[in-house]
């Protein structure tokens, strides 16, 4: 018996197939694409990996930004509930979840029982989201996947005084024309994202253990900066990008 | 006897030479440039126009973003006080000033005596400032000076749902690839700027007469949209970009 949990984000679709013992038997992440192409490709990849048809999933649960457009779901719970469930499954002691996605950022406060107590989110402003990093990578003529390595080699991170993506972009251009190293600029960019998200998260109060998830958590430079901005150890689960899909699959098992 | 009023903005330097009878005898607007190059060029242009040396100005007052860096000023009052003074000089009945600059936006509420009662400003977020229009003009591959004409030819303005410059830019790109006319996109962009600034201005309350100044007031499309967003007639003085410099010159006459 297999269930499918699917998390349709603004930039990537994530899927997890789980058996009745909560084992993850297959998972996949693919770009969201336009319209329904992302979820369709995701299904194709996961059914192929398990050797079954879509109709053979006993339940399907969809979450994320695009969940309402997804056809064939038995339930479409919010991202907040799925991320919480997914993270608690992976790291039972979690009390604060920081989730930075492609176009938004959230902080979730959990009680000792692993239930959501409060949350705060930004989905209006590109600063402090993956989009900020996209804009900066473009200006720096590098790939998002390179940022972590550049951050690790920084010697004297620049300070970026503007929070706004647009104004910060101009600052980065000035630093480049002043021949500041890309490494130091990238570390400053990561500090800027972390500062912004930390100030969001502090509104609900930060308690150990702090877990970071979402696509941006794969960038160790942001995780480094987040730890510094919060003054706390920040844990990233191996499946940081899959927590929403894992939570969706766990929800499917409960149906 | 001549005084010099100078307004050093983030994108343009504005200067006004006034005689003791408050007549404007010369004025100039030039790009701010880097360092002190903008103000120096402005002085050169104005002294040439009046046929005098800089040392012959009886007083010099500098305002604006770059006023502290300007050498040789007898006083460096805030932009708020200079803009207010300049606008009241041009349009004595003004009760609300909307000032949209290259990187900021302000709204000033005046009492019946022409004194500032309250104000609100945004200099943190590029949305609702000239920078938003710069970003959009670039995506549309057109000049800022073309926007007014495009706006006037719009038939069915698009709605832009994101306030954030970065997210709105993506919306504009989608509209372009859906073959929406540039005219309708530009009108939507102007509506977005106006909506943002109107929601800022409404915090202090809007009273007639509403006067719009600053570099962006030269764009009739934004003025059109601002009138619609406020539901009020919006007046633009001929010297909309010079009000800060005029206020600085008037201050110089009082010294
Ligand atoms: S501050 Fe900048 S990034 Fe944030 S909403 Fe405004 S324009 Fe967008």
Summarised one tens digit per residue, pLDDT across range A10-50 is 888 999 999 999 999 999 999 877 667 888 999 999 999 99
In percent, the amount of chain A with pLDDT more than 70 equals 99
Coil, strand or helix at A155 = coil
Do residue B217 and residue B247 come from a single domain?
Answer: no
Q: Is the CB of A44 under 6 A from ligand 1?
A: no
Q: Which two tokens stand for residue B224?
A: 């059109």
- What local confidence, expressed as pLDDT, does residue A34 receive? 66
Contact in structure between A144 and A134 (CB atoms under 8 Å): yes
- What local confidence, expressed as pLDDT, does residue B125 receive? 98
Q: Is residue B139 part of a domain?
A: yes
Do residue A183 and residue A247 come from a single domain?
Answer: no
Query: Which residues of B have a CB under 8 Å from any CB of A?
Result: 103, 124-126, 131-132, 135, 162-167
Place of tokens 């901005």: A229
Strands A2-8 and A59-63: parallel
- One-character DSSP codes across chain B: -EEEEEEE-SSEEEEEEEETT--EEEEEEEE--STTHHHHHHHHHHHHHHT--GGG-SEEEEESTTGGG-TT-SB---HHHHHHHHHHHH-TT--EEEEE-SS-EEEEEE-TTS-EEEEEEE-S-STTSHHHHHHHHHHTT--GGGHHHHHHT-SSPPP----SHHHHHHHHHHHHHTT--HHHHHHHHHHHHHHHHHHHHTTT---SSEEEESGGGG-HHHHHHHHHHHTS-EE--TTTTTHHHHHHHHHHHH-
Strands A96-100 and A105-110: antiparallel
Do residue A222 and residue A107 come from a single domain?
Answer: yes
Do residue B180 and residue B219 come from a single domain?
Answer: yes
- Inter-chain CB pairs, A–B, below 8 Å: 33
Q: Is the CB of A192 under 6 A from ligand 1?
A: no
Summarised one tens digit per residue, pLDDT across range B59-110 is 999 999 889 888 889 999 998 999 999 999 999 999 999 999 889 999 999 9
Number of independent structural domains in chain A: 2
Contact B166 A124 (CB under 8 A): no
- What local confidence, expressed as pLDDT, does residue B9 receive? 87
DSSP code, position A75:
B
- The CATH number of whichever domain residue A8 belongs to comes to 3.30.420.40
- What local confidence, expressed as pLDDT, does residue A46 receive? 94
Q: Is residue B177 part of a domain?
A: yes
Summarised one tens digit per residue, pLDDT across range A191-205 is 999 999 999 999 999
Q: Which two tokens stand for residue B44?
A: 């050169």
Contact in structure between A122 and B162 (CB atoms under 8 Å): no
Mean pLDDT value of segment A41-62: 92
Is the peptide bond prior to B38 cis by the omega test (within 30 degrees of 0)?
no
**What is the nearest CA distance from B54 to chain A, expressed in angstroms?**
32
Coil, strand or helix at A83 = helix
Q: Is residue B88 part of a domain?
A: no
Mean pLDDT value of segment B45-57: 91
Distance in angstroms (rounded) separating the CA atoms of residues A104 and A130: 7
- Among B220, B204, B51, A241, which residue's Cα sits nearest to residue B212? B220
Do residue B58 and residue B179 come from a single domain?
Answer: no
Contact in structure between B197 and B96 (CB atoms under 8 Å): no
Mean pLDDT value of segment B189-207: 97
Distance in angstroms (rounded) separating the CA atoms of residues B47 and B6: 13
Coil, strand or helix at A87 = helix
B192 contact residues in A (CB cutoff 8 A) = none
pLDDT band of residue A174 (cuts 50, 70, 90) is: very high
Q: Is residue A88 part of a domain?
A: no
Do residue A15 and residue A139 come from a single domain?
Answer: no
Q: Which residue, by CA, sits nearest to atom 2 of ligand 1?
A: A164
- What local confidence, expressed as pLDDT, does residue B185 receive? 98
Mean pLDDT value of segment B226-246: 94
Summarised one tens digit per residue, pLDDT across range B114-133 is 999 999 999 999 999 999 99
Summarised one tens digit per residue, pLDDT across range A217-234 is 999 999 999 999 999 999
A124 contact residues in B (CB cutoff 8 A) = 162-164
CA dist A64 → A96, A128, B6, B87, B147 (Å)? 20, 19, 53, 50, 37
Contact in structure between A140 and A186 (CB atoms under 8 Å): yes
Do residue B102 and residue B50 come from a single domain?
Answer: no
List helix spans (H) across A32-91: 37-50, 79-90
Distance in angstroms (rounded) separating the CA atoms of residues B100 and B122: 10
pLDDT at A240 over 90: no
Q: Is the CB of A126 under 6 A from ligand 1?
A: yes
Partner residues linked to B26 by β-bridges: B17
Closest ligand 1 atom number to CA of residue B167: 8
Summarised one tens digit per residue, pLDDT across range B158-190 is 999 999 999 999 999 999 999 999 999 999 999
pLDDT at B32 over 90: no
Three-state SS string over A120-153 comes to EEECCCCCCCHHHHHHHHHHCCCCHHHHHHHHHC
Contact in structure between A55 and A84 (CB atoms under 8 Å): no
Q: Is the CB of B125 under 6 A from ligand 1?
A: yes
Q: Is the CB of A162 under 6 A from ligand 1?
A: no
pLDDT band of residue A97 (cuts 50, 70, 90) is: very high
- Phi and psi at residue A99, to the nearest 5°: -125, 105
Contact A165 B162 (CB under 8 A): no
Contact in structure between A136 and A189 (CB atoms under 8 Å): yes
Do residue A217 and residue A180 come from a single domain?
Answer: yes
Residues 6+ away with beta carbon under 8 Å from A189:
A132, A133, A136, A147, A160, A168, A172
How many residues are listed for chain A in this entry? 255
Place of tokens 């107590």: A117
Domain with B56, as residue range(s), is 2-81+242-254
Q: Which two tokens stand for residue A50?
A: 């398990």
Report the alpha-carbon angle A32-A33-A37, nearest 5: 95
Do residue A73 and residue A150 come from a single domain?
Answer: no
Do residue B219 and residue B116 come from a single domain?
Answer: yes
pTM: 0.88
Do residue B102 and residue B76 come from a single domain?
Answer: no
Partner residues linked to A5 by β-bridges: A16, A61
Averaged confidence pLDDT in chain B:
94
Q: Is residue B47 part of a domain?
A: yes
Place of tokens 């997804």: A70
Mean pLDDT value of segment B135-159: 97
Q: How many CA atoms within 13 Å lie on the side-chain side of A25? A: 20
Do residue A105 and residue A207 come from a single domain?
Answer: yes
Q: Is residue A87 part of a domain?
A: no
């Amino acid at each position: 018996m297999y269930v499918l949990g699917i998390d349709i984000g603004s930039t990537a679709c994530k899927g997890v197939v789980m058996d009745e013992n909560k084992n993850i038997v297959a998972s996949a992440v693919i770009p969201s694409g336009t319209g329904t192409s992302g979820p369709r490709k995701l299904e194709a990849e996961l059914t192929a990996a398990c050797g079954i048809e879509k109709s053979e999933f006993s339940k399907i649960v969809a979450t994320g930004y695009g969940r309402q457009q997804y056809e064939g779901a038995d339930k479409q719970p919010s991202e907040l509930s799925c991320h919480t469930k997914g993270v608690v499954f992976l790291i039972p002691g979690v009390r604060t979840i920081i989730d930075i996605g492609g176009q938004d950022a959230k902080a979730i406060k959990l009680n000792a029982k692993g239930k959501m107590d409060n949350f705060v989110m930004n989905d209006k402003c590109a600063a402090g989201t993956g989009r900020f990093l996209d804009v900066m990578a473009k200006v720096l003529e590098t790939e998002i996947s390179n940022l972590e390595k550049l951050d690790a080699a920084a010697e004297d991170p620049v300070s970026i005084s503007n929070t706004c993506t647009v104004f910060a972009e101009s600052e980065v251009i000035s630093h480049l024309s002043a021949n500041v190293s890309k490494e130091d600029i990238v570390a400053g960019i990561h500090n800027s994202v972390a500062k912004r998200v930390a100030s969001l998260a502090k509104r609900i109060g930060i308690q150990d253990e702090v877990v970071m998830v979402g696509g941006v958590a794969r960038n160790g430079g942001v995780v480094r900066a987040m730890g510094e901005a919060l003054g706390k150890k920040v844990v990233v689960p191996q499946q940081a990008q899959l927590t929403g899909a894992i939570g969706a699959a766990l929800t499917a098992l409960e149906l």
